[in-house]
Structure formats: C-alpha cells, structure tokens
C-alpha cells in the first residue's frame, strides 16, 4: 500500500513540475515596467497559454509602439527601429497563423527588437549631447532597451554596463560627467550583447 501511494505521489510531483517548466522560463509582464516590453511579455504569456490570437494582438501593439519610437530617434537610427517594428509585425502575423511553434522564437525576436531600440536611443543620445542638449532621456531609453534585450536573451550584462543601467534608473537629470560614463557603459553593453545575439 505504501509503495502504491509513493508511486502515485511521485507521478503527481513529476506532472506538476513538468507543467511548471514553461511558466518558469516565460517572462512575466511584471518583469517589465515600460513598453514595448510590457506588450511583448503579455504576448509571451498568452503564447505559453496557447492563446495565439491574444499573443498576436500584444505583438502588434508592441510593433505599433516601436514604429512610433522610430519617429523620435535620430535620423541615422530610424531605419533600424522601423525594421525592428516590421520584424514584430511579421512575427505577430506568423503567431496568428500558428506558424510559430516555440516561445524561444518570440524571445529571440523580442531581444533583437530591444537591442535595436537600445542602439537607436544610444545614437540619439550621442547626437543630442553633441548639440549641447540634455541626453538623459535618450540614455535612459537606451538603458531600458539594453536591459530588456538582456532579459529576453537570458544574458547577464557586464558589471560596468549594469552599473550604467542602474545609475540611469536612479538619476534625474544626468551631469555631463555622468553622461560620458553612462554613454560608454551602455555602448560597451550594446556592442557585447549585439555579438551574442548575432552569434
């Protein structure tokens, strides 16, 4: 009798653990504070639950946000952002058709989109700083994009890059000296993560 109860209990535990695995690796909407990551996390959550229409809807919302951001970044960075928005739109269509079979494909695309945003906002911060204006807002958006790309790809940011991202979160208006430090830290992180994403 004890053996039977033990084997039933073991089977139950295995079933619970197997059911929990996709949830553990999915990004939760609460993991992100800003768009487009909130919508992408909602899409990931809907995808894991099997609701492809809702997932596609969230991806299209993220794509619309990214396209709007394309109008706000420096002209030399606009194409990268627009391509990232197009990449999301295409993914949303594929999810809706049922052509996407793995959440990993979503995460990879989401990481690439956030990386594109980080690069664009970093370039925008550089251009803003050169014109003598406050680059804090653009740097904060670059940091948020870089942090999102790292989360989606499961990559840990280098210590100096993480310090820059954390410093930007806490800072109000950033001093000229801090801008230089944060700018370099983010630039290094964007380059490093870009190599990891393409490799």
Instruction: Say what percent of the chain tops pLDDT 70.
Output: 83
Predicted pLDDT at 183: 81
Predicted pLDDT at 33: 75
- Answer for the pair 115, 194: CB distance below 8 angstroms, yes or no: yes
**How far apart (Å, rounded) are the C-alpha atoms in residues 129 and 117?**
18
pLDDT digits (tens, 9 = 90+) for 7-48: 544 544 444 444 444 333 446 667 787 899 999 999 999 999
pTM of the model: 0.82
Locate all alpha helices (DSSP H) within the chain, ordered by sequence: 2-25, 37-49, 52-70, 78-97, 103-130, 136-153, 159-170, 176-198
Q: What's 102's DSSP letter?
A: -
pLDDT digits (tens, 9 = 90+) for 156-171: 999 999 998 998 888 7
- Answer for the pair 151, 161: CB distance below 8 angstroms, yes or no: no
Q: Is the pLDDT of residue 187 over 50?
A: yes
**How far apart (Å, rounded) are the C-alpha atoms in residues 127 and 114?**
20
Instruction: Say what percent of the chain tops pLDDT 90.
Output: 64
**How far apart (Å, rounded) are the C-alpha atoms in residues 149 and 115?**
5
- Residue 98 sits at φ, ψ, to 5 deg, of 85, 15
Kindly state the greatest CA–CA separation across the chain.
79
Q: Is the pLDDT of residue 95 over 80?
A: yes
Predicted pLDDT at 13: 41
Predicted pLDDT at 174: 67
């Amino acid at each position: 009798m004890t053996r039977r109860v033990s084997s039933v209990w073991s089977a139950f535990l295995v079933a619970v653990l197997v059911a929990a695995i996709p949830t553990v690796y999915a990004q939760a909407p609460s993991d992100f504070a800003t768009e487009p990551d909130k919508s992408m996390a909602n899409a990931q959550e809907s995808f894991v639950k099997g609701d492809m229409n809702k997932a596609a809807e969230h991806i299209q919302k993220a794509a619309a946000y990214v396209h709007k951001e394309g109008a706000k970044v420096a002209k030399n960075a606009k194409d990268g952002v627009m391509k990232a928005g197009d990449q999301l739109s295409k993914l949303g269509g594929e999810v809706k058709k049922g052509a996407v079979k793995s959440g990993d494909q979503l995460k990879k695309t989401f990481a690439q989109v956030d990386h594109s945003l980080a690069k664009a906002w970093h370039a925008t911060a550089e251009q803003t700083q050169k014109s003598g204006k406050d680059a804090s807002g653009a740097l904060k958006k670059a940091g948020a994009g870089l942090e999102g790309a790292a989360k989606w790809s499961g990559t840990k940011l280098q210590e100096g890059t993480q310090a820059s991202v954390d410093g930007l979160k806490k800072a109000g208006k950033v001093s000229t000296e801090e801008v230089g430090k944060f700018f370099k830290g983010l630039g290094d992180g964007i380059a490093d993560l870009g190599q990891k994403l393409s490799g």
